[in-house]
Structure 1
């Protein structure tokens, strides 16, 4: 599904800063992977490159055998809408639109038929339990509900890869649990491939694999072969060993 080979990202023309230093990572179809590391480690840079928001300085990123960096802007925009789903910490919803208008936005931009949009809308709304919210404005729903709407928008076009950036960052503990159970459900039942950047060990415990990044390099990874509670403990131990007591996380 995702193949990252020797990816470097350098910023600046004069004094340069190397944000990523030769990243190699392979993600199989249907995996649920978390990316963790201290602040400034390169997590967001890596996610932006995978999301095609930015391009590598060197190296390559292939998504389902395709290198989006070779596309022109029009083809790249279409690729994002059709192949990728995005879930953001701040939801990134449009407050002037209703819940249903936000959810179908990717299909609207693609000029999909109304009948197709309605069918897809009601299928995803039923799956996520948000049918009663469809006519409401974004400002009239809770943070947990808004995150469900964001997940619905990310999933409505059945993307090959879902990218989540701190999806529980602005949620209370109950909403965080609901969101992660929802992502886990979509991963196991829909076989959606999910790649999530998070600083939250609780959220990370829902993943099948965690890769740790520090100073622009992948330094460690762990796999979930035990209960979620035991995996949480393994994550906490790895963070103490890798991040260190003096690093901001």
Structure 2
């Protein structure tokens, strides 16, 4: 399907915001709004959002990406749920045929909270599509491995005594983290699809075990009829791009498109 791109500018709380709409010839009544998280711009990490938007547009879905306030080309110094609500309104005005909106976001707790807040206020927000929640959840845990160590001043006197006497701080366990994620997903008032990157073609991994546990928690809550959790499976040979490279964007777009027409 032939597609076009449209650059737009809209306002939110006095700040000018920039967005891009990938528009097919005959857009379906269900569109996709990409809600990037800080520090990602509308392009996404390694242009993930841009490539996915184009792939979905070729399947008939209008897709809008935008820079949130204080990110990329948009003005402002911070963002909250207001910029997402303003983007939903602008998207539906720019593409009048879009009557329902699916929010596509990186899988973080803040993204789920933002989507839930918007869905409760705007009935056009019908669904949430999360990408790689486990990768996002582990980002903070591995950040210290990527950043160069910063020497801390040596404690002296009473400070040294109290530091040694305190038990080490520990982050939430894997089970507690997954239980919190499942609770957020089940509380969203609409359809949910979680696409988890598990590198399934590399054999059994801890990531796959976490996905199975998360799926079990959703089933136990009785919401598996509207909250689906799937593995980001390896592309089949027919889905390989030129040169033998695995075309993960096309595979992910096909998965998302099939889900969006299934309900």
TM-score band, normalised by the shorter chain? 0.3 to 0.5
Which structure has more relative contact order (CA 8 Å, sep 6+)? It is 1
| TM, length-normalised to structure 2 | 0.34
Structure number with larger C-alpha Rg: 2
